[in-house]
Structure 1
Amino acid sequence: MTATVKYDQVEVGQELTAVDYRVRRSNLVMYAGASGDFNQIHWNERFAKMVGLPDVIAHGMYTMAQAGRFVTDWAGDPGAVVDFGVRFSSMVVVPDDDQGATITVSGVIEAKLEDKRVVVGLVARADDAQVLSKARAVVQLS
Structure 2
Amino acid sequence: MTSTDTENQEPSGIDRGPNKPSPVTQESQGRWLSKTLVNFWVDASLLVVFLVLLWVTVVLYFLFPPGRAYENLTLWGGTAEYWRGFQFWVFCVFAVDILLHVMLHWTWVCSVVSKHILHQKPTRDDGIQTIIGVGVLIAIIHIIAAALFAAWLGMDSPNL
Q: Please tell me the TM-score bracket, short chain as reference.
A: under 0.3
- What TM-score, normalized by structure 1, do the two folds share? 0.27
Bigger radius of gyration among the two: 2
Which structure is richer in relative contact order (CA contacts within 8 A, separation 6 or more)?
1
Task: Tell me which protein shows more strand as a share of its residues.
Answer: 1
